[in-house]
Each structure stands twice: as C-alpha cells, then as structure tokens.
C-alpha cells in the first residue's frame, strides 16, 4: 500500500521562503498603481456636439429676432391693408400680427433652449470645482423649473454664473409678451399729393340758347324747385358731388362778375324806358309782372 508524501504548513513556508510584511506592502502598492493606471479618468472637456448645439441655437435665435425686427421696421408707417382694398388674405393686418407673434415665440424658445444647454454645462463645471451640499445640488438642478431654487444662498453665492444663466431662462420668455405691442395700428393724418379729376365750370362750351330770354313763363322745373327748397332750408349753397371721401380742394377759374354802381341820370332814364316797354309788351298777359331786368353783352334781354 503506497502513500503519497504529505507536506505540512511548515514545509510550505520553508520551501517558498518566509513572506515578510515589507513584501506584502510592496505588492499591494504595485497592484494599486496598476489599477489606477487602468481606471484613469478621461480629461475634462466639452463635447463638440454640445458646443454645436449651444452655438447653433444661439445663432438661430439671433436670426429669428433679426427677422422680427426687419418685419416690423418694414411695416412701420405702412397703411393697413384689408380684403376690401383687394389685398391677399396673407397680407392683411390679422395675418401680419400672427407673423410677428410667431417670430416672437420662436425667438424666445430657441434662445431659452440655448441658455439651458449652457446652464447644464456650467453646473457640471461647478460640481467639479467646488463642494456643495445636497440642498445646494438640488437647487442647481431645479433652478430652471422651480423659481424657489433662487432662495438657496449656497446656489446663488457659490454658482454666480449658473445663477445668471438660470435667471435668463426665466426672463427670456417675457420678451414674447412685449413684442406684439411694438406694432400698433393708429389713425394718422398724412399729406399726399395726387392728381385727380374734379368738376369745373366749362365756360368754353356754353349753349347760348339755354340763356336767351324767350318770353315770360310760369313753368318751373322740378330740379330747380328741389334745389331752391334745399338751399332755402339749409341756408347755404349746396355743395357739389364729392370726388372722394373727406377731400377738399381749391378751384381757380375765370368767370363772370357783377358790380353794382349808382346809375347815372342817363342810365336811369334808359332803364325806365326799357321797363315801360317791357310792361307795355305784356299788357295783355294777365298777372304778368317783371321781377328784374338785366342786360348781357350779346344785347339779349334776359
């Protein structure tokens, strides 16, 4: 019956030699150094995608704000167009107001998103550089959604730049409330010079038959009756038809004029003769009575 040799613990120690405390400490330090080399942290930096997102949103927000400014600058002092004027629906005041409001909300949304990206990077930088309590960390993470986070003195005092960025995320949306009121519709008086066709007395095209006395008559035209009655009740001369609404103009023309002078003895005798001749010519006409007499340059008695 064979037996394999057995070695005791003392034989193992004797065989491999004693393990001293110095050797164990050296091996432990060597293993720890190699472990740290394997788990070395990467260098701190901001990724290219984050930079592109932050700067891209900022550029889009600036372009949107610039477009809003140029739109309102173009519309300044422009007359309001309506469907009655024949303007397309997308050019009316209702749609112009919608355009401005949409640009205002797009601008504030994009700029707030850009600030939010920058704020996230800033709080990570603060957490890497300084020590914060749990309440301070909670305030930093909730500052963009909970306005009560600004009551944390640790957050406001130790993260000043992050506080400013968080405040911007709250104040930028307020711009959408101000911009719609920057374009108002008001009534203004504007002087415009424009050539228009207006009625004028045409003395060059007169029909003399319409002004020649052809004998006495008692027939009065309805138009004359209406015109006379309206002028008598209103106590003013009837205006001519208006060319346009709320319009006034000055018309200059050469026309006949009347002048009253004291008649001389010779003219008075002549008028008396004409008067008597007129009455004698119409003696048999019943109730005829001459109201007035006048003389024209064409020697026609009117």
Rg (CA), the chain: 52
pLDDT number for residue 301 = 42
Residue 90 lies in a domain: yes
Low-confidence ranges of the chain (pLDDT < 50): 1-17, 19-30, 32, 36, 38, 299-302
Residue 134 lies in a domain: yes
pLDDT number for residue 182 = 76
pLDDT number for residue 252 = 81
Dmax (CA) of the chain: 191
pLDDT number for residue 13 = 44
pLDDT number for residue 210 = 59
- Number of structural domains the chain divides into: 3
Q: What is the pLDDT of residues 68-113, one digit of tens each?
A: 999 888 888 888 888 877 788 888 888 888 888 899 899 999 999 9
| Together in a domain, 84 and 150 | yes
Task: Give the mean pLDDT of the chain.
Answer: 76
| Together in a domain, 130 and 64 | yes
Residue 148 lies in a domain: yes
pLDDT number for residue 284 = 59
Residue 249 lies in a domain: no
pLDDT number for residue 26 = 47
pLDDT number for residue 62 = 94
This model's pTM is above 0.85: no
Q: What residues make up the domain containing 300?
A: 214-237+263-302
Residue 229 lies in a domain: yes
pLDDT number for residue 302 = 40
Are residues 248 and 267 in contact, defined by beta-carbon separation less than 8 angstroms? Answer: no
Residue 21 lies in a domain: yes
């Amino acid at each position: 019956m064979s037996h394999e040799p057995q070695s005791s613990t003392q034989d193992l120690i004797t065989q491999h030699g004693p393990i001293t405390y110095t050797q164990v400490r050296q091996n432990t330090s060597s293993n720890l150094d190699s472990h740290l080399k394997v788990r070395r942290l990467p260098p701190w930096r901001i990724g290219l995608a984050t930079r592109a997102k932050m700067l891209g949103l900022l550029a889009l927000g600036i372009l949107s704000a610039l477009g809003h400014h140029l739109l309102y600058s173009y519309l300044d002092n422009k007359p309001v167009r309506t469907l009655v004027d024949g303007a397309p629906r997308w050019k009316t005041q209702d749609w112009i107001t919608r355009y401005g409001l949409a640009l205002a909300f797009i601008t504030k949304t994009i700029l707030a998103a850009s600030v939010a990206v920058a704020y996230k990077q800033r709080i990570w930088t603060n957490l890497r550089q300084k020590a914060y309590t749990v309440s301070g960390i909670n305030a930093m993470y909730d500052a963009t959604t909970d306005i009560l986070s600004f009551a944390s003195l640790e957050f406001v005092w130790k993260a000043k730049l992050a506080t400013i960025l968080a405040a911007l995320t709250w104040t930028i949306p307020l711009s959408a409330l101000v911009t719609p009121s920057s374009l108002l519709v008001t009534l203004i008086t504007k002087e415009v010079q424009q050539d228009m066709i207006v009625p004028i007395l045409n003395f060059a095209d007169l029909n003399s038959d319409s002004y020649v006395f052809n004998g006495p008559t008692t027939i009065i035209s309805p138009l004359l009756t209406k015109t006379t009655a309206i002028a008598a009740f209103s106590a003013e001369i009837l205006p001519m038809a208006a060319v346009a609404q709320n319009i006034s103009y000055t018309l200059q023309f050469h026309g006949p004029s009347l002048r009253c002078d004291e008649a001389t003895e010779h003219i008075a005798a002549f008028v008396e003769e004409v008067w008597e001749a007129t009455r004698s010519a119409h003696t048999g006409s019943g109730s005829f009575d001459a109201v007035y007499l006048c003389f024209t340059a064409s020697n026609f008695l009117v």
